[in-house]
């Protein structure tokens, strides 16, 4: 059974800047591309790339400069010229790692070892959030919609002040959560009465509709239900939407995913997996009562799981997935027609990045294509079992074990073969790494390229290099020097 296309409402692409923030020209190319692929809004999670000023200046990124004020204004102009609305996302409760990691902010953590969660009892914590919101809203002239995050508020209720508060009769962690969010939302409504406010829904999933009703949150905020799995439970999600509706929340949003949700360190996304997630969301949209207003769907593209985790799939390798997901929403299914539309729009022969091939070389169709191709090549090489587990192959384990290395005593005939094989792999990898680095620094800051290589490539290269070096040291101990000179 085919689903109807995604109902009216926004098709929002999430731009997560908490890792590998695109350079200016590339950012503009991406916005243009998102628009061409069928998106009409941009959910921008600035994190430390926002040019916070005054007392908040310390929140700015140090690995590379934060975006300038001018860039943020011109980015909005580029988006608006394509008819796209820009919606900033500012975390106000959980996932505040980029704020609370700074020593002057340590005292504002709910518990000392949880860098993400704000202590909801401290006046200065609330002031900090208000000031962040003020600076972001002021740099977005005419802003209509704001996302306040509020997902995954880990360890809430575990802090000393919270324990004291929870000791009072009738006080619950749910109320603790809602009280803080209501304070934030009321501040926003007071400062900008016409602002639409969105928040992630996960902290409210277990709450009864009575709890939600009593909190005063209803009518002030619109929940965004997120589920990024290919086997999303349609029935459960519909019930959740209906619960929010019965509490009085008429406007809701969905959030799917086109990248950054497979595993914390994935390099190349599976388009199939993300398309399946969107097909499930289409079923949800087709199953809910028409009185319920789904305002749009945000297609998330996480760049890290959180501020302190590793980089996952970069935007260029995820464009085929994004295009396929958007066409799935537009057609109501991932039909042959939808697939042809994607291959035509990006100039590829397959919607899977791993086998996308090239139909014709038009860089404007697919910004970052060369980087995408070189990452796919390098990633497949990094996954080769013989390279990945070189240290545990039979020859290394049998003739060049830690025991042999520590005693500098090993069979030279075999170690020279091991060394030659390791050198071949290393040269092969190095060649691909150079291409990736060269392409990456066109589109991303040098720091992002370095981080990506340190994270995804160095752990595979290091053991190979180590074995080569140790065999050289060992050979000196066991083969006469003149053997080498007589070889030449």
Is residue 32 annotated as part of the catalytic site, yes or no? Answer: no
Residue 474 has a pLDDT of 87
Beta-bridge partner residues of 53: none
The residues, any chain, with a CB within 8 Å of residue 440's CB and separated by 6 or more, are 314, 371, 448, 449, 452
Tokens at 353, concatenated:
């990045």
Beta-bridge partner residues of 298: 12, 255
- Alpha-carbon gap, residue 222 to 175, rounded angstroms: 18
- Alpha-carbon gap, residue 359 to 344, rounded angstroms: 9
**String of DSSP letters for 374-443:** HHHHHHHHHT-HHHHTGGGSHHHHHHS-HHHHHTT---HHHHHHHHHHHHHHHHHHHHHHHHHHHHHHHH
Query: φ and ψ at 62, to 5 degrees?
Result: -115, -20
Burial tier of 64 (Cβ tally within 10 Å: 0-12, 13-18, 19+):
middle
- Alpha-carbon gap, residue 483 to 9, rounded angstroms: 76
- Alpha-carbon gap, residue 404 to 412, rounded angstroms: 11
The residues, any chain, with a CB within 8 Å of residue 329's CB and separated by 6 or more, are 5, 6, 11, 38, 278, 281, 282, 297
Question: Cβ of 465: how many Cβ atoms within 10 Å?
Answer: 13
What's the whole-model pTM score?
Answer: 0.94
Q: Read off the pLDDT of residues 142-155 as tens digits, 9 standing for 90 and up.
A: 999 999 999 999 99
Question: Which residues of the chain carry a pLDDT beneath 70?
Answer: 1, 358-363, 482-488
Contact 49, 107 (CB under 8 A): no
CA atoms within 13 A on the CB side of 80: 11
Question: To which H or E segment does residue 210 belong?
Answer: helix 209-215
Question: To which H or E segment does residue 299 belong?
Answer: strand 293-301
Contact 131, 56 (CB under 8 A): yes
Tokens at 453, concatenated:
């290589």
- Alpha-carbon gap, residue 174 to 156, rounded angstroms: 9
DSSP class of 156:
T
Burial tier of 283 (Cβ tally within 10 Å: 0-12, 13-18, 19+):
middle
- Alpha-carbon gap, residue 33 to 36, rounded angstroms: 5
Torsion of CA 16, 21, 23, 27, to 10 degrees: 0
Question: Cβ of 451: how many Cβ atoms within 10 Å?
Answer: 17
Residue 484 has a pLDDT of 54
Question: Cβ of 323: how many Cβ atoms within 10 Å?
Answer: 29
- Alpha-carbon gap, residue 289 to 252, rounded angstroms: 13
- Alpha-carbon gap, residue 376 to 365, rounded angstroms: 19
DSSP class of 112:
T
* The residue to which tokens 């949800």 are assigned: 284
The residues, any chain, with a CB within 8 Å of residue 115's CB and separated by 6 or more, are 96, 97, 100, 101, 109, 307, 308
End-to-end CA distance of the chain: 73
Instruction: Compute the Cα dihedral for 229, 233, 236, 237 and give only its sign.
Output: positive
- Give Cα 168 to chain centroid, integer Å: 39
Residue 59 has a pLDDT of 98
- Check 131, 152, 158, 391 and give the catalytic one: 152
Residue 96 has a pLDDT of 98
Instruction: Compute the Cα dihedral for 168, 173, 178, 180 and give only its sign.
Output: positive
């Amino acid at each position: 059974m085919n689903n109807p296309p995604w109902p009216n409402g926004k098709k929002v692409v999430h731009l997560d800047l908490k890792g590998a923030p695109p350079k200016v020209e590339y950012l503009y190319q991406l916005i243009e591309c998102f628009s061409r692929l069928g998106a009409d809004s941009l959910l921008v999670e600035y994190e430390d790339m926002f040019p916070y000023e005054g007392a908040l200046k310390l929140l700015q990124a140090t690995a590379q400069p934060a975006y300038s004020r001018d860039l943020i204004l011109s980015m909005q102009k580029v988006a608006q010229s394509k008819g796209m609305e820009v919606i900033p996302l500012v975390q106000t409760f959980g996932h505040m790692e980029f704020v609370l990691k700074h020593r002057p902010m340590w005292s504002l953590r709910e518990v000392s070892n949880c860098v993400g969660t704000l202590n909801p009892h401290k006046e200065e914590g609330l002031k900090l959030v208000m000031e962040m919101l003020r600076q972001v809203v002021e740099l977005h002239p005419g802003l209509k919609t704001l996302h306040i995050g509020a997902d995954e508020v880990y360890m809430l209720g575990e802090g000393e002040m919270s324990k004291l508060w929870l000791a009072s009769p009738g006080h619950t962690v749910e109320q603790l959560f809602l009280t803080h969010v209501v304070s934030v939302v009321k501040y926003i409504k007071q400062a900008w009465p016409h602002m639409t406010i969105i928040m992630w829904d996960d902290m409210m999933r277990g709450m009864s509709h009575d709890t939600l009703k009593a909190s005063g949150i209803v009518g002030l905020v619109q929940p965004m239900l997120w589920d990024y799995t290919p086997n999303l439970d349609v029935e459960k999600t519909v019930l959740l939407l209906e619960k929010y509706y019965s509490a009085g929340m008429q406007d809701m949003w969905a959030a799917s995913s086109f990248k950054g949700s497979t595993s914390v360190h994935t390099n190349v996304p599976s388009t199939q997996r993300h398309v399946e997630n969107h097909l499930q969301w289409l079923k949800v949209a087709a199953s809910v009562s028409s009185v319920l207003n789904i305002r749009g769907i945000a297609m998330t593209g996480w760049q890290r799981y959180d501020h302190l985790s590793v980089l996952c799939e970069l935007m260029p390798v995820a464009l085929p997935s994004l295009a396929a997901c958007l066409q799935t929403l537009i057609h109501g299914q991932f039909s042959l027609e939808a697939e042809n539309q994607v291959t035509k729009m990006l100039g590829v022969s397959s919607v899977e990045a791993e086998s996308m091939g090239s139909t014709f070389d038009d860089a404007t169709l697919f910004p970052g294509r060369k980087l995408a191709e070189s990452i796919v090549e390098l990633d497949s090489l990094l996954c080769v079992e013989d390279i990945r587990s070189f240290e545990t192959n039979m020859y290394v384990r049998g003739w060049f074990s830690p025991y042999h290395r520590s005693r500098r005593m090993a069979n030279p005939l075999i170690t020279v073969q091991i060394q030659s094989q390791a050198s071949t792999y290393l040269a092969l990898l190095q060649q691909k790494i150079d291409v990736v680095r060269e392409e990456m620094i066109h589109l991303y800051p040098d720091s992002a390229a370095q981080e990506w290589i340190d994270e995804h490539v160095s752990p595979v290269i290091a053991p190979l290099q180590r074995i080569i070096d140790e065999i050289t040291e060992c050979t000196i101990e066991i083969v006469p020097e003149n053997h080498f000179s007589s070889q030449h």
